[in-house]
Every structure is written in C-alpha cells, then in structure tokens.
Structure 1
Amino acid sequence: MPSNAYSIIAATCHGNRGAEAMLETVVGRLREAQPDLRFHVFTYYPEADRQLVQDPALTLHSSTPMALVAWLLPWSLVFGLLRLVFGRRVLRMAPAAVRGLGESRALVDLAGVAFIDGREKFLPFNVLTLLPAWLLGTPVVKMPQAVGPFERPLNRLAARVVLPMCAMIWARGGRTREHLEQAAFPGVRFIQADDIAFNHKNGYSLTQEEGGALDARFAALASARGVSGVTGVVGLCPSSVVAVKARKEGGAYEDILARLVADLSGSGYLVVLFPNATRDAAGEAERNNDLPLIRRILAAAGTSLPVTPLAFDLDMNAAAIKRLIAEMDVVLVSRFHAMVGALALGVPAAVLGWSHKYAEVMARFGLEGNVMDYKQLSGPALRERVDAIFQSRQAMRAQILERLPEVKASAERPVVALLEPGFGSGGLA
C-alpha cells in the first residue's frame, strides 16, 4: 500500500519566513491534491515550531545540528543496514523520527541555497540533511533552490558525492542550471523550475501570529500614507545575513541604509521597514532574525525626519508579510523571499543581495538590472535606483504581471512531480 506521508527538511515556521512560505506551500499544495496526507517536518527550531503549529497532520522532529549528528544519522545508519537484511518492515521498530522518514514517499529538501562556494561552513548541514533519508531508501527531492558554483575543492567534492544521491534537483534559475551543467557530476538529475513560494496562498498558513500589535501597525500605516505631502510608500526589507557579511568585511551596509531612510523621508517618501526573518524572543540574536537590524537602522536614521518612517519590528508570519508588501508602491529588499513575495504580488522590487540566487529569479521578469551586490553598495546609486523604480513602477508592475503566470506554472512542476503515481517509497509494508 503506498505511503500517505512525506518528510520535509531544511525549513521552519519560526525564524526564516521564506522557509515558512516554502513549507506552507508544499504542505498546502499537496493537501489540495490529497487531503489525507501526513507530514514529518524536520525543523531546526523544534520547540518554537511546536508552539506555533497545531496542525494534527504535521509531526515535528528536531533537525538541529546536534540532533542530526548525535541521533538521526546514527539511527538511520543502523536501521538502514537492518533494512537491507530484513526489508522495510524492520523500520516499524525504529524511533519515531527515523520511522517517519523511512515510511515517507520522499524527503522534500527546502534548503534555499546549498553546496555554494564560499559557504563551506554549511556543508555539514547540507550533507546531513540528506544522508539519513538516503540510508533509509527514501527518495530525496531538492525543491527549487540555488546550488553552485563548484570551483572550490571541498565544495566540489561534497557536491559530487552527495548530489547524485538525490532523485531530483530542481534548479531555481538559469545560473544554477548552468552551474550543474558545467559541473557535469555523474548521476545528477536536475530540471529548472521556479521557486515554489510563488504559489503561496494565505490559506496555506500553518501559524497564527497576528494580533493587536500587528493590527496597530497596519492602522498606523493606513493613517501615515494618507498624510498630505507623502510622495509614495517605499518598503525596505534589510537582511541580518547581509549585515553580518558586510560587518565582517568592513562594509557600511547598515549606515548606508540608515542614510537612505533619512534621504527618502526628506523627499516625501514614507519608508516602511519590515522583516522576512523574525525571532523577537531571541532579543539581539541575528541568526534568522532581522528585528534588531531594523531597530538599529531606524535609530540611526534619526527622529526629526520630514516623514516619520514606520517599522514593523515584531514577529510576523509569511501571510502577514505578504499583506504588508501588498501595501507598498515599491520595495528594496535584501531577503530572497521578500523579493519573491513582491514579485508574486506584482510589486516592483529592487534587490541588494549577495548571491546569484537573486538575479536568476529577477531575470525571469526581465528585472535582473534591479539587482545590486551589497559589496558595491553606494548611497547615491541606491537612492537613484529607488527613484527610477518608483518613477517606472506602473510599467514595471505590468511587466511583472505579464510574466507571472509562466513563473507560477513553472513553480507548480516540482509539486506535481511529487504526486505522480508510483513516485517514492512504498511505505513500510
């Protein structure tokens, strides 16, 4: 009897809201096709996610680095070997997480980026998220994500060994596809498709984090945008990832964004700062948390500004962030899925990022020229880009909406492939 379960890894509802959007899209879309499905979600924030997610069809397991190394990998190795001797039925005796992974049709890997030169410190996680499923004979599917380039020896070796273990790699853009083509690793199967979060719906939400504080911010936004003299509303989504990178390299990312906020305010723009990664209870911790950065930028911009900026510096789920982006005339973002959310809503976007992952997606809309590298960050150039996008926002919106149906259809393909008859392991029978 075919299994009615899928496992999902490298995503969480707490923290990175782009990961939340991908997770919710996979679960929601699969359940639309088959309502009785169950899901084993391996999350690196297990306790926080258990407080947020109450859906009985989801079983949450830990995929913290410690859990992967000390528990999931060893037990998967043990039961993987037993499976070869006694068959899949032996997995019924395994611990719950291993049993769930073993009974699943597939392990759906939602890593946004993996096996990228310069990110070698993440290679153990890239490997350990996939190896237990492979040991248990569960097909691994990498949903659309950026991988490569593979020029550095350690990254190339890890990718050459691990990527062929995947049943399919969905390349999230043309640059990623080219990296895989040029690497020509034996046994690697890949197809290009767009990010599944393009098809996120608010009805897919697995969390409910909206409340009085968030409603008050939206009320303040509605009031502020109606003030006489406001030229337009510019959304600014900074990234703690980029901020940390820039700080280590001696860059001025935060200072330039603060000056941009003050400059735009002086020209009559209402600037709305918003996150795409939130862990308010974590305080000043920056891992998967943009809130401290937003507060620092707002403080550095000053208090006596012609148009007072507004900050959404609180926990927001993916649906709430999309609701906010829909209120913007244009956005400047450093978070990948804030970019995806804007494009999915037809909101013109400029991107200040660090990887090829932004440009390859923006190119689908003919907007790769709106992508800037944070290392070449210049205050005047940034202001000029925002002004140009604001002035051409109507034409840009029309361009986005014209190409969006093709992108959404492409983003559907990886989910449809998971539902194909006969795909995946046959459960534990």
Structure 2
Amino acid sequence: MKFWQPLRKYASLIIVIGFAIWAAWYARQHAESLAILGNLSIWWVILLLGLAILKLTTMGLFTKVIMASLEISLDFPEWFGLSAMTSMGNYLSPFRGGAAIRGVYLKTKHNLPYTLFLSTLSSLYVLSFSTNAVIGLLAMTALWLGLGITNPILTFSLAACLLLPVALFVVVRWTPRLPGRWAEGLNRVIEGWGFIAARPGAMIKLIALSILNASVTLLMIHFSFAALGTNLPLVKSLIISTLFLVSAMIPITPAGLGVAEMILVLTSQTLGMTDTLSILSAGLNRSAMLASSLLLGPLFGYLLSKRTEAKTSSEEKGGELGIAIIGTTLSGNKGAAAMLLSGVENISKLVHNPQFKVFSIYPQEDRQVNRDERIKIVSAKPLALLMAVPLAFLWWMLAQLDLSPGLLRRNRILETLDRSSLLIDMSGISFSDGRGIVLAYNTACILPALLLGKPVMKYSQALGPFESFLNRLLAKILLPRLEVIAARGEITQAYLQELGLSNVRLCADAAFALDDTKNPIEFQQLVQTLNRSKERKVVGIAASSVVRAYCRRMDIDYCQVLADFANRIMAARNYDVWLIAHAMRRTRKGGRTSDVDTCQTIYDLIKDKSHCRLLSKDYSPTVLRAIIENCDYFIASRFHAMVSALVKGVPMLVTAWSHKYREVLLMFGLENWVLSHRHLTATSLLERFEALLKDENEIRAQMAQYLPHVVHSSRQNAQLAASLLNTLGRTQD
C-alpha cells in the first residue's frame, strides 16, 4: 500500500514519461512505416483542421447551454473562445487544467460560484460519459451483427462505463447526499445532476450535443485513416472514436495522452488494424486538435482578457510594497495567528509602507477578526488553491513564449502573486512524511509563485523527515528553488542538509518575537471571570485535536489520559486545572484546527468541576499567552502553547507528535521534558510531572537564560525577508 500510494499520486508524470519513451522506441523500430506521413496530402490536413474547429464549436455549445440554464447569456467569443482555451489548457496540463481557466472566467465575468461550476461540469462529464458508452455498445453490437467480430473485454468495459453512472443515480434516489469526506466528488456530481435533471430542455440539448460531438469525432477518426490510405468501415471508426472520447475524460494526463493510445493498441487487433496504423491515426487527430487549440486559444484568451482588464499593480497605485503570505490564518490555530502577527509587526519595522496579502483558507472568519489595516485577506480555500496550480503552469508556458498571461490574471490568487514582490510561506510544518493529502497543500502553497517567477521564502518552520518517495521527490524539486528556508531547529536543519540544500538558515519560531506587552482589556475582563484562588496553584493544559488523532491511531484514549491526570493532581495536590483551547474556529468545534471538542471531552471526564475551568472562547494570541502566564505549571500539546510557556517562564511538560517540539526545546536545554504520544499514559505523565516539580527552579532559570538568544534568533526571520526585499530597493533607509 505504501508503495502504490505515491505511484497513484504521481500517475500523470509516470504515464506521460512512459508514453514518451515508448513512442520514441516505437518510432525508431517502425521508421519505414512512419514514412507514409511524408506523403500526406495538404487537403487532408485542412479537412482535419476544419473538423477540429467544428469539435471546438460543439464543446463550446455545451458551455453555452449550461450557462443559459443558469440564466447567463454567453456570446460567440465567450462560448467558443472558452472552448478553445479549455482545450489548450487540457493539452498543456494534467487534471483538466483547461477547465480551471473556464471556471475563473465565469467566476470573474459572470460571478458564477466555483462550487456550482464544478458540480455542473462534473454532471456534464457523467452525461457525456454515459452517452458515449451507449454509442460504443451500439457500435459493438453492429460490429458483431455485420462482421461477426466480438471483444468481450471491450464490451464489458463499455457496459461498466454505462452501469456505474446508472448505479450512482439509483443510489441517489434513496440517499440524496452520500456521507463521508471520500464522497465529496460524488456529491458534487449528484448536485450537478439534480440541477440538470430539473431542466429537461437543457438535458435534451446536452444529449443532442453529446451525439453531435461523437459524430464529429467519428468523422475525424474516419478521415484520418483515409488520409493514411485505409478505408475503414464506419462501424470500426465509431468504436475507435468512442474509445477516444471515453479515455479523454480520464483526467490523469494532458488530454488523456498515452491513455487513449494504450487502449487503442490493445484493441487494434480485434478491429483488424495494425498498431502502426492506429498510432498514426491517433497522432493525426491529436495534431489537428492541438494545432487548432494553440492557434485559437491564445487569440481568444487575449480577446476575453480585454473584457476583464486587470487593475493596475499596487506599486503603480500608491508605492505600497506587496508581500504575500500563505500557510497561516488569523482564525483557527492561534499559533499560526501568532506567527502571522509577529511577522507583520517585525517586517514592518524594516520595510517601508508594506501591504500584506494573506492567502487564507478561512477568508470570511479571518476578515471578521482582522484588526490590522496592513493585512488584506485573500481567499485561498484548498480547492481554489489547487485550481491555481494548472493555471500557474499555463502562465509559465505563455511566459516561455513571450506571451501575455491575459485572462489568467483574473484568477485572484495569481493576480495577487503577480502584484507581490515576495511570497512568505508561514506553514508551521511542511513536507513532512506521513501527512497524506497535506503534502499536496504544501506543494500548492509555493508552486504557483515559483511558476510565476516570484521569490519565495519559508519563514521559520519544521520540515522533514524525507523518507517517503513522493515527499522526498517533491522536496528535492521545489525546496532548492526557494530563496531561503528558515529551519525552526537543528533537527529540521539536519533533514534539509541531507537533501544538499544551501539556502537554509536557522531561525527560532516567529511567535517568540510576538509583541505581547500590551495587556488588552479583553484579558483584564477575563481575569475577573477566572477568579483564581490564591491558595491553589494552577496547571494549564493546552489539549490538541491533532495529538488526539495521532493517539487514536495507537489505540490511546488521549482525552481519558489527560482527564485521569487532571483528576489525580486535583485530588492529591489541591491544584486547579485550566483546559485551554489554543485552536478555535467560530464555525466549527472539531477538526485539526479546533480544540474545542477535545477540551470539552476532557472537561466532561473531570470529576471535580469546581476546580476545573474550560477556556474555549475565541481568544487572541496575546490573550492566550497572558492566560498561560498566569498558570504555575503547564502541559502543552499545541506547539505554540509550548512557545508561550517558554516565553513566560512557565515550567511544563510537552506531549508531542513530531520532532518540531523537541528541536525548539533543545534551544533551552529542556528536551528531556517531551513525552511522545506513542507512550502517553496518565501514569507516565504524572511521574514526569512530579519530576518537573522537583526541578522547577532549574527549569525557570534555563528558560530565562536562553530566552533573549531565542527571541533574537526569531527576529532573524524578518531580517531575512527584509534582505530579500532590499534587492528591490524598497526597505527603509
């Protein structure tokens, strides 16, 4: 399973490279057979190009009909131009990159939500997929009746292509929405199908267009064989065209490159054709579509971009220096907010008139809590960020041809990057083994900026280890291209040195340099409600939903462990306990970015609630630090809760899931006070806590001794950013 997972994620590149190697080998082995291309008549070329443009027309009509059902009227330059641009994008990038261009234009020009666009697009694919499967089955039946040729595997595959969508919609009748995150894509198809099914007029038009599109593809296949001197029966041409249409809807490689050819080679013998003839025919069709797309795509891209002219750059408007920040938020994880606020404050001391554009996965929530005029929130939800990757790739391709990106500037993420002088990635941890889909997000955070030619810096963060195939591959490709990587500790630095990187600097976490000297009114009011007893000491516990999830994998009841520990110290030592949610979202109590549910579960297990406080409101990073300062001892599962305890000199134990905790504690000589989540029990936690009480004075002294050096190291993050910006001559004198 561990071996196949990275292969599946990197399937596009593997297939394309494999196909290129095979094509080169095949051309060398069949050089004489390929000589027929030299005798190709120009009239055949013109005919195929004409049919390719007709195919672009039918594809554009799909968009026109869908938009009309949404009461959005598209004129010819729009519906045809978007078709040409979509086709161009699909050929230049995998995973339907052209569809992303269409989505951006419709969002910008006609305010069509991405979610609605994706749902209708998905349902359209299913409709076309099913229609082509029906056509293919009819063609196989005709082939059997007319020529006595059968292919059970091909027939079964086409039947499956038809039955799978049918089965899905049968299930929908009983379950309108499927549960679980895995079903998000299917739910999107279901929602789009429900929208189309409620409009029978649009449904009939779309089915007619699917048949028309299949007919045009049939003619292209038939005439491409004729151009090569073979008069192929129409029924065989229809089967081949159906295979092409179905395989083109598998968004693994650019326009299904390699997939369709592989299927064609496997079925060529059944249809009585040679491999060479099939490959040449496929090559002619692809060449015609590619030529028409590359000719018309940039032309209509330029025309449509004129309709949605981008605004002037920020420097032209007021001399402001645009600094883009990604990988952090103001809401959710308050440690991320502490890093962001610290970075903004310290960079502003070194840079003249900066404007910070923060790419946020929670844009609405972040706008509500943002109080800094220097910070502008830009929506960068995971889906939009992933869609920006193929668009950025197209931007890079156009730049190589000295062409303007035109309409691509209407994508808000790319537009913001284009106006920015520097991108700072403030992810707390990135490119680390075993984090699954998070690796895709880590990649999407920096890849668009690199493709746009923007300098990228990683603010102090943890990276590595790099043992897994895909993580190591992406790290070796992307990380050397960054201007500077601030390693948060010696362990991360060692991991990066193993990759042979020379752009690494050691800097403490940015939150160490957070200005918390202003005691807000919010905390003063909180102190009154806490009503802390002077006779009882307080143990703060910053529980973490992330550590809870890691413990669950080890069959450890994290909440029960912390509750048992709290119950014992309250009973044996007459201590009070404060349960602190260091990550909190107003719209969600659970998940990786909110500890409210975790803290609530622990609180429910507390026996004596009169001496336990649940602090789970949406506190700011400085208020949370002030709360931690008022604790006598601390148990930290959240990383930046640990940072606050170090800053305020509060002796603590750390329950950790990653090396990122230990490498920071090494700066204070306190690495022995880390407990791995793998061995977490109430007994082990209590034993280490008793040892902590004995060494309390020594621990406080070490924190005080090393803190000035660590804070200075933390401020080096801003110094590095200012040095990069200094090359533009934009820092203060």
- The two structures have a TM-score, normalised by structure 1, of 0.89
Shift of 1:23: 0.6
After TM superposition, the structure 1 = structure 2 runs for residues 395-406 of structure 1, keeping only pairs within 5 Å, are 395-406=698-709
Any idea what the Cα deviations from partners look like across 1:331-389, whole Å, max 9, x if unmatched? Answer: 11001111111111222221001111101100110100000101101212211222322
Question: 1:9 aligned to 2:323?
Answer: no
Residue equivalent to 1:374? 677
**57-66 vs 293-302, which moves further:** 57-66
Question: 1:49 aligned to 2:366?
Answer: yes
Confirm or deny: 8 A CA contact 1:27 1:204 kept in the other structure: no
Any idea what the Cα deviations from partners look like across 1:255-292, whole Å, max 9, x if unmatched? Answer: 11001111111121111111210114314x22311111
Structure number with greater CO (CA < 8 Å, separation at least 6) is 1
Residue equivalent to 2:345? 28
**188-197 vs 20-29, which moves further:** 188-197
For 1:81 and 1:56, how far apart are their aligned partners in 2?
36
Distance 1:392 1:98, change over 3 A: same
Question: 1:301 aligned to 2:301?
Answer: no
Instruction: Report the secondary structure of 2:611's partner residue.
Output: coil
**Equivalent of 1:99 in 404, 410, 415:** 415
Question: 1:278 aligned to 2:610?
Answer: no
Distance 1:426 1:91, change over 3 A: farther
Distance 1:421 1:155, change over 3 A: closer
Shift of 1:327: 0.3
Shift of 1:20: 0.3
- The two structures have a TM-score, normalised by structure 2, of 0.53
Residue equivalent to 1:218? 527
Residue equivalent to 2:426? 110
After TM superposition, the structure 1 = structure 2 runs for residues 98-177 of structure 1, keeping only pairs within 5 Å, are 98-177=414-493
Any idea what the Cα deviations from partners look like across 1:18-61, whole Å, max 9, x if unmatched? Answer: 10001111111111223511111101111111111143332211
Instruction: Report the secondary structure of 1:282's partner residue.
Output: coil
Confirm or deny: 8 A CA contact 2:350 2:719 kept in the other structure: no
Instruction: Report the secondary structure of 2:591's partner residue.
Output: coil
**Equivalent of 2:626 in 302, 315, 323:** 323
Shift of 1:314: 1.3
**101-110 vs 363-372, which moves further:** 101-110
Residue equivalent to 1:413? 716
Instruction: Report the secondary structure of 2:616's partner residue.
Output: coil
For 2:600 and 2:526, how far apart are their aligned partners in 1?
15
Gaps in structure 1 of 5+ consecutive residues: none
**411-420 vs 329-338, which moves further:** 411-420
Identity %: 32
Residue equivalent to 2:575? 269
Confirm or deny: 8 A CA contact 2:321 2:352 kept in the other structure: no
Question: 1:18 aligned to 2:335?
Answer: yes
Confirm or deny: 8 A CA contact 1:163 1:188 kept in the other structure: no
Confirm or deny: 8 A CA contact 2:489 2:506 kept in the other structure: yes
Any idea what the Cα deviations from partners look like across 1:276-335, whole Å, max 9, x if unmatched? Answer: 10114314x223111111111011122x36x61111121111111001011011111001
Question: 1:238 aligned to 2:543?
Answer: yes
Shift of 1:97: 3.3
Say which structure is richer in helix.
2
For 1:235 and 1:77, how far apart are their aligned partners in 2?
48
Q: Which amino acid aligns with 2:512?
A: F
For 1:49 and 1:196, how far apart are their aligned partners in 2?
20
Distance 1:366 1:25, change over 3 A: same
Question: 1:192 aligned to 2:500?
Answer: no
Confirm or deny: 8 A CA contact 1:105 1:426 kept in the other structure: no
Confirm or deny: 8 A CA contact 1:138 1:424 kept in the other structure: no
Confirm or deny: 8 A CA contact 2:421 2:725 kept in the other structure: no
For 2:720 and 2:503, how far apart are their aligned partners in 1?
14
**242-251 vs 335-344, which moves further:** 242-251
Confirm or deny: 8 A CA contact 1:166 1:188 kept in the other structure: no
Confirm or deny: 8 A CA contact 1:3 1:103 kept in the other structure: no
Count of paired positions: 412
Any idea what the Cα deviations from partners look like across 1:149-208, whole Å, max 9, x if unmatched? Answer: 111112111211121221111111111111112232xx5521111111100013799xx9
For 2:581 and 2:436, how far apart are their aligned partners in 1?
26
Distance 1:203 1:4, change over 3 A: farther
Instruction: Report the secondary structure of 1:149's partner residue.
Output: coil
Distance 1:421 1:243, change over 3 A: closer
Confirm or deny: 8 A CA contact 1:24 1:204 kept in the other structure: no
For 1:68 and 1:279, how far apart are their aligned partners in 2?
21
Residue equivalent to 2:171? none
Any idea what the Cα deviations from partners look like across 1:107-148, whole Å, max 9, x if unmatched? Answer: 100111111111132110010000111011111111111111
Any idea what the Cα deviations from partners look like across 1:211-249, whole Å, max 9, x if unmatched? Answer: 5xx76642243x3322x4x2x211111100011221233
Question: 1:247 aligned to 2:549?
Answer: no
Instruction: Report the secondary structure of 1:273's partner residue.
Output: strand
**90-99 vs 153-162, which moves further:** 90-99
**155-164 vs 124-133, which moves further:** 155-164
**Equivalent of 1:63 in 363, 366, 380:** 380
Instruction: Report the secondary structure of 1:146's partner residue.
Output: strand
For 2:468 and 2:627, how far apart are their aligned partners in 1?
40
Confirm or deny: 8 A CA contact 1:261 1:271 kept in the other structure: yes
For 2:643 and 2:361, how far apart are their aligned partners in 1?
23
Confirm or deny: 8 A CA contact 2:361 2:381 kept in the other structure: yes
Distance 1:53 1:311, change over 3 A: same
